[in-house]
Structure formats: C-alpha cells, structure tokens
Chains A and B, each alone.
Chain A
Amino acid sequence: MRRVNVWKMLFVAFVSAILLAGCSSEESGGTSEKENSGKSASGKDQELVIAVNENFISMDPHNTGDTNSNSVQTAMLEGLLGSDEEGQIIPQLAEEYSVSDDALEYTFKLRQGVTFHDGEPFNAEAVKTSFERIMKDESLRLNSRGFNLITSIDVIDEYQIKVTLKEPYAGMLTRFVSAKILSPKLINDSSSDIGKTPVGTGPFKFVEWVQGDHLTVERFDDYWNKADRVKKITYKPVPENGSRVAMLKTGEAHVIYPAPVQNLKELESNSDVEIHKIPSTIARYVSINTMKEPYDDVRIRQAINYAVNKEAFISVVNSGYGLPLDSIIPSKTQFYSKQEAYDHNIDKAKELMKEAGFEKGFKAEIWGNTNSDTLKGMQFIQQQLKEIGITVEIKSMEEGTLSDEIYGAQTPEEAKVQMWYVSWSAYPSDTTNATKPLFSSSSFPPDGANTAYYKNDDVDKWITEVNQTPDPDKQAEIYNNIQSTIYKDAPWIFLGVDEILAGSRSNVDGVFISPTGGINVTDANLK
C-alpha cells in the first residue's frame, strides 16, 4: 500500500507542475498579439515585420538576382533609376536622363543634396565608383550583364554623368535600375563587407542580419525624400506557408509574401487582414521541342494548344488566381500586345492532328521539377492531351538534375527534352530579357533558355533589330511582329500568367508589391 502511495504522489505532483507551468506562461506570454499588432502607438515609431518565403542570399546589390534579397536591398539602396508600382522605370537618384539617337550614350542629371547612410555625399564620382565596381570586379557575375558593354563613364560635372556603350542594348535602362549605388567609402575601404552590411542612400539603413532568422533596417532620418515612415522594418524568412499565415493572424507579421492560395478564404474572412492580388510578369508555359518529331509540325503544336483549356488550367492548377497567357509575354511587360488566344476547341485540335497524320495520337514525355504545383500542372496537361490521343508520361526531376538534363545538351540534336513545364519572369521594363533568351536561335541550350529550340529567321532578325533601336514607337512595332509571329508558331503551350498574392494587416499603409514580387517599403507606415 505504502509503495503505491509514493508513486501516486509523484504522479500528482508531476501533473500539477505541468498545469502550473501552463498557467504561468499564460500570464507572461498572453499579450503577444496586442504587443505586435501595432495598433496602440503612432505608426511612425513602430516596427514593421515582413515575412517572406525564402532566405536572403546576399545584400550585395551587384551580385544578387533573387527577388527576396532585392526587396530588402531596395529598402536600403537606390539606383539612378527606380521602378513604380507597375514595374515601369522612373527617375530615382537621377532627376532626369536622356539616351542618344544611336542608343549608345546615356546621360544622367543627378539629384543634389543626397547623402549616404555613412555621411558620404552622393555625386557623379560616387556613381562612377559603383559602376566601375560592377564592370571591373570579376566576381560580380550576375549584374555585369549590360555593364560589360560599357566603354567609358565620364563625369561631366559634380552632378552629371555620361555612360557610353560599345553596342546598343535595349535592356540597359533596367540594368541602371538594378545597379544600386553604394557608398564609395564602403567600396574603397571595406568591400568585403558589402554583402553583409551595405551602405546606400535609401529610406532605411542597415542594422542587423542574423542569417536564416531576420534582417533589420532602421529609418534613415536624413533621407532626401522626407516623409513619415515606420522606424524599423524586420524581414523574416518563413518558408512554411502555414507558419506565415499564423504570423499574419497573430500580428507577429504585418505583411506576408507570398500569401498561400489554400489559406486565402480563411484570411479574407479575417477583418484584420487584407489580401492583395497583383498581376505578375511570371509566365507559365510548356516549351515544346520544335526540332523533334512530331513537334516539328506546327499543326501538332497548335493542336496541343487548342486541346488545353487555359481557364480550367487557372482554376485547377492556380486555384483560380491568374490570367490566360495571351501573348508570348505577360501583359505587365513593356510592349505587350494581346494576341488571339487559342480557345479550347477539341474538334479543331483533332482536325489538326489528322491533317498532320497523327489521327490516333502519339506518346509524349513532359519534364518538370518536383514541386507539388508543377506536378499538378503536368498532370493537368496529361489529362487534357489525352482527349486528342496524346499519351503523356510525366518525368519529375529534382531541380539540379533537371537543369543538367536541359542544359547538358550541347546541340539541338543531343537534346532529349520534348516538353518542359516551366515558368519565366523578367522585369516589366525589360522586354529583351523576356524574349531573346527564350526565342532567339542564338539562345539554344546551353547558351540560353530557348528550350523549344525555336528558330525563325524573321524573329532572329527582329530581335537583333529591336535591340539596336532607341525609338520606343519603332520598338513597339517590332515587338508586335515578334509576338504575333511566335504566338502563331506555337513553340509553347501558352498556359497562364500568375497573380501574385500577398497579405497584410489592415493597419499597414504604403507598402506595395511590384509585378516581379519585389516589396517596396519606401513609404511604409502603420495607421
């Protein structure tokens, strides 16, 4: 009897201890929502928390290409040119700019009275130092594109600078947007710190970066564009969708990007939360190897396009968020012109298949990465093409392996890919990047991403021509020809354009997401 009592007492003590611990943590931790929701004090003294889905790679603006790193950099650093809510180019550290008729000379008139976070003055020499770093430092591999065409950078006076190229490059203005200007002192004295502690002229200055956990920036009170904005912004990488949603609901995060589609209904019913839907520049498509039989017959490619229901694709694969891809570039891209989309017409598709001699269909293979959304997309294509007798086998590969398979082929003959389920995103202002790597015959893998092995002499000629034309009207005309020709040639299954989804607390003001997914916090405030 006595033995049992000892253990019973121990057991009761243990249960009581757990209950007590539970009660005490309620007292100490129960206020977290109120503390974080940012409703009590005035917005400009507060901290804004932004949760994104991936880690930041580096804070060196001249050496990063990922959206999340760029978003954070944009809060701290500025370029001569910037971009607006639609992704179009606007002056930033340059008040005005002009391009010569031969598209070789870019002259910038710089903003005066701007200082870097470390107190250094912003002037033409500072711009020159940053641009020369991009041109000369061989380790800056991603952003040197475009800058390797520069032949000279001339300081005209303290606030004017001229950049000369050796050959025209239509994407150059976009390069000036991404080439953020860093403090010359940082570049000259401690260049190894650029990736960790950047110093620029932006509305916020760098405070702290704990890898994998958070990155904090603080308001720069000497910023040239005076306005009320929050005191601090903390960016957090939160890869798990459910956790990001929970953070938004508890008020631990004020903005989440992206907002997961599966939680949208639940978030929309929450009065403290707002959902933002932004048409993006992300095109979803399946590239079809136009050099392989039977895909070398344009009728087969058109038949495939007629067989796939784009509206159904958006509702099934993208949960209803998105728009049909009705050109070779999304509508937010400069020089977009809408084409007559392939409607869902099984009879027409079968007729084209018959004309091409494949009445009974054929066996096909589609490749994609292991992402669950990609898999869903490929299964959709498989089901749709079955209607016209094409039996599609799905090959799902891990990203690195897939990249090896695609880019490992040195010639079109070596290429094994038949269809590739993929997406492409370019800056809205850079139509060159949205077309040349995908449709020029000089961009066959491994030299580019023309995985459709699409070759059309007219298109090749136009792509070169448009790059050398500074006149926007002429560019629009050429791009119009490029779009209509390629759309008819159907080297892709044109699927859809993503809508970007983001969530914010209803007291957040002045934060916008661009069509590329970049988060702009220049005027961020809490109401």
Chain B
Amino acid sequence: MLQYILKRILEMIPILFIVSILIFFFTHLIPGDPARLVAGKDATLDEVNIIRAELGLDKPIWDQYITYMSNLFQGDLGTSLKTGLPVSEMFADRFMPSVYLTFMSMGWALVLGLLIGTLSAVFKNKWPDYLGMVTAVSGISMPGFWLGLILIQIFSVQLGWFPTGGAESWKSYILPSITLGAGIMSMLARFTRSSLLETLRADFIRTGRAKGLKESVVIPKHALRNSLIPVVTIAGLQFGFLLGGSVVVETVFSFPGMGRLLIDSIAFRDYPVIQAELLLFSIEFILVNLIVDIMYSMLNPKIRYVS
C-alpha cells in the first residue's frame, strides 16, 4: 500500500506539469487586457504600454511561460497584478479559513447525511424515511444563495446568535457551513439510503440474519460498511469542489476564502493569482482522489492496489 501511495504521488509530477501548461495558456487566452484594466478607463495608450512592459506582458508568450515556470520551480507563485503583493501572501490569509469551512461543512454533512440515509433505509416507507427524504429533497432544492440569506435573516438579524459574515471566530463558520453543507448532506443521505437498501437485499445479509446476528450488528458492521463505496466517491468529489471555493456562499457571508479571490482575480485578469489558484485546486483534487482510493480498500478489503 505504501508503495502504491508513493507511486501515485510521483505520478502527480507529470500530471501537474501538463496541468500547469494548460492553465498558463488558457489563462492568457481569456479576452481582456490586464494592462488596460490596471490603468483604468482614462489612461492613455502610452500609460497602458508602460504598464504592459512593467508587468512583462509585452514579451512573447513563450518568454512569459518560461519565466512563469522557472519562478514556479523556485517556489515563487508570482506577484499579483492587481495588488502588487506576492500571491503566496494573498493565499496565506485565505487558505486556512477555506479549509476550516470545508472540513466543518463536510463534517456535519457526512454525519447527518449518513444518519438520515441509514434511518431512511432501515425504516423504509415509514415516517422516519419520509421525514428524512423530505429533508434531503429540501436540502438539495434550496439554492445556497437563498438559504444563506434566510439563515442570516433568522439567526443573525432576528435572533442575533451568529455574526452575518467574516471569519473571526468559530461562530462565523456556523451559518456558512450549514449553507454549504446542506446540499451535500442531502446528496449523501440519498446515496446512503439507496446503496444501503441494495446491500440489505444481498445474500450475505440474509445469511447473517438467518444465523441470528443482531440488527445492531448487521446494519452498521455488515450492511453500512459495504454500502459506503459510492458514498465515499461522492463525498470525495464534493470535498474537492468545496476546497476549490464556494463563491456563492463566500459572497453571501463575506467570507475571506479562496473562491471569492478567484472570481475577483478573473474579473481583473490577474494572471498570476488565477494560475496559482487553479494549480492549487488541481493538487487538491489529485490528493482527494488518492485519499478516496485508499479509503476504498479500507472499506472493502477485496479492493487491493498493487504497485
């Protein structure tokens, strides 16, 4: 297993190399001239040209690419065209809040999603199932933007329990994480339910029950564990997306995360920030995929990886 993990990590290097090339050229393909956007509407052509030269945008694209890659190999993510600050410094303030928010949203979405899904499957077509599925459908149907504003209205404006935004204390994370986690929780609940129902119909469960195993053993130990593979896949994918930035929720709650930074940077054609952020998201996705694969084999010992 260790060898397999090492191999996967080594495989990341060429993948990231290709990804970085694609990111660089696609970023430069976005229409819009950063020099013009930096200079403002009233700038003269001379002023725009001075800025273009200073930002290095007047050089051939290959030269720019070589500079970008050589800086990248030295661990330099570049300097923002908009703020003039090193990109790594801009990330430093925003990365951890995004990570905390992701873990918190994912944490409660997983716990509640699994619980509701399991209860719904066990009590199929009874009131806990109906209640669970109504909750799940509501969670999926509510747009994050709307849910966020409703939560602010109820819990911040009316009740005054939580702040309306920011990321200053643990309280600031509650409402955004509920908003962000609602959809994922619902999805996980539905997947858990259908997957568990299928497993409960399997021969080995019938055998277990026939042998006199208690339900409290059959369900968590045998059925649930075997139903988790699709759930883990979905959870992994969602986790990657969440880390990649959830722009809507970050906007509603004025949350200082990576998603908003990306959108601001795209609007301003801030190439170094866009490139660095996309590269970071690619690394995150690759790592999450690796973790998901490892979890498969932990859940089902029949899945073995050979290097």
Contact = CB atoms under 8 A, between A and B. Distances in A.
A145 B47 contact: yes
B268 to A, nearest CB: 8
A213 B82 contact: no
Interface stretch (A104-112, A222-230, A243-251, A484-492): A243-251
Find the residue from B40, B51, B167, B257 having the highest chain A CB count within 10 A.
B40
Interface string A415-438: 000000000100000000100010
Interface in B70-126: 82-85, 89-90, 93-94, 97, 115, 119, 122-123
Contacts of A449: 41-42
Interface residues of B, number: 64
B166 A213 contact: yes
A435 B252 CA distance: 38
A243 B159 contact: no
B44 A448 contact: yes
Interface in A20-68: 25-26, 29-33, 51, 55, 57-58, 60, 63, 65
A406 to B, nearest CB: 9
Interface stretch (A3-11, A121-129, A175-183, A341-349): A3-11
Interface string A188-211: 000000011000000000000011
Contact of B254 (A195, A211, A243): A243
A424 B41 CA distance: 9
B155 to A, nearest CB: 9
A252 B157 CA distance: 10
Interface stretch (B30-38, B57-65, B224-232): B30-38
Contacts of A211: 85, 89-90, 93-94, 256
Nearest to A25: B161
A400 B42 CA distance: 15
B139 to A, nearest CB: 15
A449 to B, nearest CB: 5
A95 interface: no
Contacts of A16: none
B33 A407 contact: yes
Contact of A246 (B47, B119, B156, B260): B156
A101 interface: no
A247 B165 contact: yes
A95 B157 CA distance: 47
B164 interface: yes
Given A196-B85, A246-B153, A26 B44 contact: no
B216 to A, nearest CB: 6
Contacts of A195: 83-85
Contacts of A239: 251, 254, 260
B143 interface: no
Contacts of A3: 215-216
B253 interface: yes
A32 B44 CA distance: 50
Given A57-B82, A400-B30, A236 B163 contact: no
A470 interface: no
Nearest to B131: A11
B208 interface: no
- State which size class the interface on A falls in: 35 or more
Interface stretch (A134-142, A320-328, A454-462): A134-142
A438 to B, nearest CB: 8
B261 interface: yes
A30 B251 contact: no
Interface in A320-379: none
Nearest to B111: A14
Contact of A26 (B41, B83, B159): B159
Interface in B141-192: 149, 152-153, 156-157, 159-168, 171, 174
Contacts of B167: 213
Contact of A141 (B38, B82, B153, B159): B38
B166 A236 contact: yes
Contacts of A11: 119, 128
B253 to A, nearest CB: 7
Contacts of A63: 84
B32 A400 contact: yes
A447 B44 CA distance: 4
A237 interface: yes
A58 B160 contact: no
Contacts of A236: 165-166, 254
A236 B168 CA distance: 12
A408 B43 CA distance: 14
A29 B160 contact: yes
Find the residue from B36, B153, B260 having the highest chain A CB count within 10 A.
B36
A237 B269 CA distance: 20
A226 B110 CA distance: 57
A57 B156 contact: no
Contacts of A151: none
Given A7-B122, A210-B93, A437-B42, A403 B85 contact: no
Interface of B: 30-33, 36-48, 50-51, 54, 82-85, 89-90, 93-94, 97, 115, 119, 122-123, 128, 149, 152-153, 156-157, 159-168, 171, 174, 215-216, 251-254, 256-257, 260-261, 264, 267, 269
3 closest A-B pairs by CB: A400-B32, A212-B256, A213-B256
Interface of A: 3-4, 6-7, 10-11, 14, 25-26, 29-33, 51, 55, 57-58, 60, 63, 65, 138-139, 141-142, 145, 195-196, 210-214, 236-240, 242-243, 246-247, 249-250, 252, 398-401, 403-404, 407, 424, 433, 437, 443, 446-449
Given A214-B168, A243-B164, A424-B41, 4 more contacts: A25-B161, A29-B162, A51-B254, A399-B267
15 contacts: A3-B215, A3-B216, A29-B160, A57-B82, A58-B83, A142-B39, A238-B165, A243-B253, A250-B156, A250-B160, A403-B36, A404-B31, A424-B41, A447-B45, A449-B41
